[in-house]
Structure 1
Amino acid sequence: MSTLGESFVTAGGLVLAGDPQLLGIVALSLQVSLTAVFLASCIGLPIGAAVAVGRFPGRKPLTVILNGLMGLPPVVIGLLVYLLLSRAGPLGSFGLLFTPTAMVIAQVVLITPIVAALSRQIVADAWRDYEEQLRSLGASTPRAAFTLLVDTRFSLSTAVLAGLGRAVAEVGAVMIVGGNIDGVTRVMTTSIALETSKGDLPLALALGFILIAIVLLLNALAHGVREWAVRRHG
């Protein structure tokens, strides 16, 4: 068997055996990404709804900015968060650099625009259908935005899952602010980069298998929720 073939076989064995090192890396990855997505959703969903329903000066430029921020370069976000958390930065006294908290902060900054922009579009579509009805009931702008967030919650879950997919697969920002410290800040993407550079292909492949499986699962969930929401609303 070729060296490459042996690497694939060994990688499969690591996954099937539940290798402790492998599981620890996956667990930290999910912990960081899920925390970041929760916080980004708490920020991004209200912003998206407010921009969709509100009528205020600068609304259109803000919409353009939100859409543009979806493509933020992760390494630039990592650099900015690094400067913010470094000893010379304004938050340096908290000692957050090279910790999972720093990685969460970087991912929140990265995925909040994604959640906000996608939720804005979803709520805006619903607002076009229900604006007249909500106005006739005397709903204020904040009340209307909240009502539409609740009504479109299943469709909004696709925006949240999109953010989670971006967070789980991100490498640049978390590498910069986390430092890729073994047992502390080493997640799936940074581990794959490190192990590949070291020539440890089995572990890198095993993590790659799991990462691909997670991304595919998230996409399948997003598609399933979207289809279910369409059928539910006829």
Structure 2
Amino acid sequence: MTDSEGGPHPPTASPDSALIDYAESAIVEDDALLAARDRADELGASAVAPAVGALLALLARTCDAHAVVEIGTGVGVSGLWLLNGMAADGVLTTIDPEPEHHRAARQSFAGADIAPGRTRLINGAPRDVLPRLADESYDLVFVDGPLIDHPRHVTEAIRMLRPGGVVVVHNATADGAVADPARTDPPVAAAREAALLIADDERLLPVVIPLGAGVLAATKAR
């Protein structure tokens, strides 16, 4: 393709890409979050995109979250966003099997002046920890971590949610691969299974939100 002077058109972003870029550019993170992202880079740990973090804060505030479970602490980026939206006396229970992640997350929380009593960091495999958490006792459950574990974690999240609570699944689209019928590898199949568990539960009202790696959120009927 050429422009009116016969030269090639400059490349342009797709509408979807431009919209996502705009959503990300609209979010300004504070010094504590920027420092946490630096820790993630140093450790090679993944962290939610800023727009996904802002969505977590919004959902936490919308459901007046006092008790939240996070599956996959990382270095505390998503935890900081959740705490930003939670009630002032809310407690974040965050689970990760990596001790190094927990040390970094504690630094991130301290750097944001989060009172120690507002976070409960559990070092362990979520498959072992989640069954010990009480039924219908949490306002929001954030499911992150390896895709292959999402079906198990979503099942536990639904059990733990109180009526009116929200479950949020990160990378629910498996980086877009769920839409490709040729992709049947185990992580993609697990992402589809997790989505079906939510879609097939009549108590849940779900929506897919195209931010970051793709977010699936659902609220539980009161």
TM-score interval w.r.t. the shorter chain? under 0.3
Report the TM-score, using the length of structure 2 for normalisation: 0.25
Q: Which has the higher contact order (CA 8 A, sep 6+)?
A: 1
Instruction: Decide which structure has greater helix share.
Output: 1
Instruction: Decide which structure has greater strand share.
Output: 2
- Point out the structure with max Rg over C-alpha: 1
Report the TM-score, using the length of structure 1 for normalisation: 0.24
